[in-house]
């Protein structure tokens, strides 16, 4: 999905901002950068330093003379603008845009363009009207305009969140060791029961499901070998302290 999303910058005038955009994109897993009639050099010390390691995106960036060329193969184009327009355009919040991305990016030939304007004057009405929708990042109404790279960062983050929500995001168990075997667990339960009897916590004539509940607890935890060693060590030390090894 992320490889089908293109960031289009129109008439950018500061190389540092282009570098900042490259960094924001690479951080979020986007790689397709298109520059329309940039008003500055793309590869400068400033852009490379602001890209801080993502400068390959600057070298790969495509440069076009017009917006039409930059989005000619796109199946959806969305213009980012802080300003509302006299002729209102279909508006999306960044989250609404993100919600649409998985289906918009489904087809192999699909391409989504996120179009950003100039630092000083943003997008013209004509440019916005070449987009299917207008995405507005909700900001302070008295100070609504983000830095270009910051605006790209917000939308790129939403793209990534949409992409992540499609993945199997069940976190893998934090395992740095092998899990214990059934047999090791059974030996632990025997040891645990012996110890609990020795310290008179557990009365086998009145079991009250104690061992079953503890089993459920330990089985749920899926102990690793090292953790099992620690638990066994605690039991041995408990027996020793109780004078009943
Ligand atoms: N002064 C310009 C703003 C330029 S900021 C203006 O009047 O429009 C550079 C670009 O960042 C904008 O063209 C837009 O694409 C994006 N951007 C900045 N703030 C934004 C916001 N709140 N919502 C959506 N896009 C924004």
| Cα-based distances in Å from 111 to 2, 32, 54, 70, 120 | 10, 10, 22, 11, 28
Distance 117 CA to ligand 1 centre (A): 6
- The ligand 1 site (C-beta within 6 Å) comprises 80-83, 116-117, 119-123, 135-137, 139, 144-146, 148, 151
For ligand 1, atom 3, the nearest C-alpha belongs to 122
Q: Which of 217, 234, 226, 37 is nearest to 127 (CA)?
A: 37
Distance separating alpha carbons of residues 219 and 4, to the nearest angstrom: 43
Q: What value does the mean pLDDT of the chain take?
A: 93
In the chain, the domains with their CATH numbers are 2-165 (3.40.1280.10), 182-241 (1.10.8.590)
Distance 80 CA to ligand 1 centre (A): 6
Query: What integer pLDDT is reported at residue 71 of this predicted model?
Result: 94
Report H helices in the chain: 15-28, 45-51, 55-60, 67-70, 94-104, 125-128, 148-166, 182-198, 210-221, 225-241
Rounded average pLDDT over 199-223: 88
Nearest-atom index, ligand 1, CA of 137: 23
Distance 29 CA to ligand 1 centre (A): 22
pLDDT tens digit sequence for 121-140: 999 999 999 999 999 999 99
pLDDT tens digit sequence for 14-42: 999 999 999 999 999 999 999 999 999 99
CA dihedral angle for residue 68, residue 71, residue 76, residue 78, rounded to 10 degrees: -80
Distance separating alpha carbons of residues 3 and 111, to the nearest angstrom: 9
Q: Which of 7, 117, 133 to mutate to test the pocket of ligand 1 (most atoms within 8 A of CB)?
A: 117
pTM of the model: 0.74
Distance separating alpha carbons of residues 73 and 75, to the nearest angstrom: 7
Distance 136 CA to ligand 1 centre (A): 8
For ligand 1, atom 6, the nearest C-alpha belongs to 122
Sign of dihedral through CA atoms 81, 86, 88, 93? positive
Q: Which of 152, 155, 106, 137 is nearest to 3 (CA)?
A: 106
């Amino acid at each position: 999905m992320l490889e089908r999303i293109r960031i289009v910058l129109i008439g950018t005038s500061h190389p540092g901002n282009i570098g900042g955009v490259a960094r924001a994109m690479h951080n979020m897993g986007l790689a397709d950068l298109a520059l329309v009639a940039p008003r500055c050099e793309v590869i400068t010390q400033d852009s490379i330093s602001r890209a801080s390691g993502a400068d390959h995106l600057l070298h790969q960036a495509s440069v076009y003379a017009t917006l039409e060329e930059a989005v000619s193969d796109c199946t959806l184009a969305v213009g980012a603008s802080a300003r509302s327009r006299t002729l209102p355009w279909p508006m999306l919040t960044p989250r609404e845009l993100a919600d649409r991305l998985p289906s918009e990016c489904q087809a192999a030939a699909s391409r989504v363009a996120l179009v950003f304007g100039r630092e000083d004057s943003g997008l013209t009405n004509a440019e916005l009207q070449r987009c299917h929708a207008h995405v507005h990042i909700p900001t302070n109404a008295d100070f609504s305009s983000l830095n270009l790279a910051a605006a790209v960062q917000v939308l790129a983050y939403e793209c990534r969140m949409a992409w992540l929500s499609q993945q199997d995001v069940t976190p893998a168990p934090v395992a740095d060791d092998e899990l214990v075997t059934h047999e090791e667990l059974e030996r632990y339960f025997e040891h645990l029961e012996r110890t609990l009897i020795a310290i008179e916590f557990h009365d086998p004539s009145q079991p009250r499901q104690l061992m079953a509940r503890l089993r459920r607890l330990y089985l749920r935890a899926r102990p690793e070998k090292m953790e099992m060693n620690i638990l066994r060590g605690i039991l041995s030390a408990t027996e020793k302290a109780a004078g009943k090894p």
